[in-house]
């Protein structure tokens, strides 16, 4: 069986449908052309590649804190989707409860876009997520995780990290932020998405320079806390990316047994599908 036909759950993708859900006027980036894809089209793509479920992530691009497009996809997706929402830092508990009832299992924080200062006051929000047993999903890059560690040590919330932690590829795996990520993995406190190579690789497709980081992530997190994700539809990608070729890269990096865990049983367990 090929990776293309193995059953799988996509742990990080976006739906963008500006015809039905117009972009916000205040967003810095407005995806267009092949960066867009609505839920109906994505379900066709899922059928092509044996993707049975997907975790939709609210994109800062286009929508910011407007989660309507994602929530509509969850509602009309017949159980295929759950979501990670983007909210203001002062989002109250009752709003989180409402989002959870609509299929949202956590919130996205994106310091790689907004910087640490934008999130310096989120500790109370993380506490609310803990109360509701929801995920705090972070997209950090380079050394940013080090800045968040004191806060994350104080709040025992479920943690998920996008795109391998987006390490500084020119440094080795001993860089401080990556070591902090690995420590969270050893402690069983976090899940990491094996995804987003184009966001930190400098080698380009097929991303041979990410291998040392993948090896360390799997060794320290265990396959049960690593989940595969596509990052479709590849917002701001620096070059052409497609779902099938990216799956074949993943196939070349991991055995069938490892893929079965990272692409199916681990995300099924963590996301409640």
pLDDT in tens, 183-209: 999 999 999 999 999 999 999 999 999
- Beta sheet of 135-138, edge-to-edge order: 8-13, 51-57, 81-85, 104-109, 135-138, 158-161, 190-194, 226-228
Whole-number pLDDT of residue 261: 98
Share of the chain above pLDDT 70, in %: 100
Whole-number pLDDT of residue 1: 75
Q: Helix (H, G, I), strand (E, B), or coil: what is residue 226?
A: strand
pTM score, two decimals?
0.97
Is the CATH number of domain 8-271 3.20.20.140?
yes
138 forms beta bridges with 109, 161
Q: Residue 196: how many CA atoms within 13 Å on its side-chain side?
A: 24
210-226 confidence digits (pLDDT tens): 999 999 999 999 999 99
For the segment 21-46, the average pLDDT, to the nearest whole number, is 96
């Amino acid at each position: 069986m090929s990776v293309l036909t193995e059953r799988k759950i996509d742990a990080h993708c976006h739906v963008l449908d500006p015809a039905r859900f117009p972009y916000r006027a205040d967003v810095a980036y407005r995806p267009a052309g092949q960066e867009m894809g609505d839920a109906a089209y994505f379900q066709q793509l899922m059928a092509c590649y044996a993707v049975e479920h997907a975790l939709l992530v609210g994109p800062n691009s286009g929508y910011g804190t407007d989660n309507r497009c994602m929530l509509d996809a969850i509602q009309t997706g017949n159980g295929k989707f759950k979501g990670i929402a983007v909210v203001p830092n002062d989002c109250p508990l009752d709003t989180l409860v409402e989002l959870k009832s609509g299929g949202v299992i956590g919130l996205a924080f994106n310091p790689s876009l907004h910087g640490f200062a934008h999130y310096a006051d989120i500790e109370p929000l993380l506490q609310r997520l803990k109360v509701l047993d929801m995920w705090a999903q972070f997209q950090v890059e380079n050394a940013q995780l080090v800045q968040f560690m004191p806060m994350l040590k104080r709040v025992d919330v479920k943690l998920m990290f996008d795109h391998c932690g987006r390490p500084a590829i020119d440094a080795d795996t001993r860089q401080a932020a990556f070591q902090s990520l690995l420590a969270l993995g050893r402690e069983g406190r976090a899940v990491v998405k094996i995804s987003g190579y184009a966001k930190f690789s400098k080698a380009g497709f097929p991303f041979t320079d990410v291998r040392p980081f993948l090896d360390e992530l799997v060794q320290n997190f265990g396959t049960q806390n690593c989940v595969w994700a596509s990052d479709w539809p590849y917002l701001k990608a620096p070059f052409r990316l497609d779902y099938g070729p990216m799956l074949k890269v993943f196939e070349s990096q991991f055995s069938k047994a490892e893929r079965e865990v990272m692409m199916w049983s681990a995300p099924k367990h963590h996301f409640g599908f």
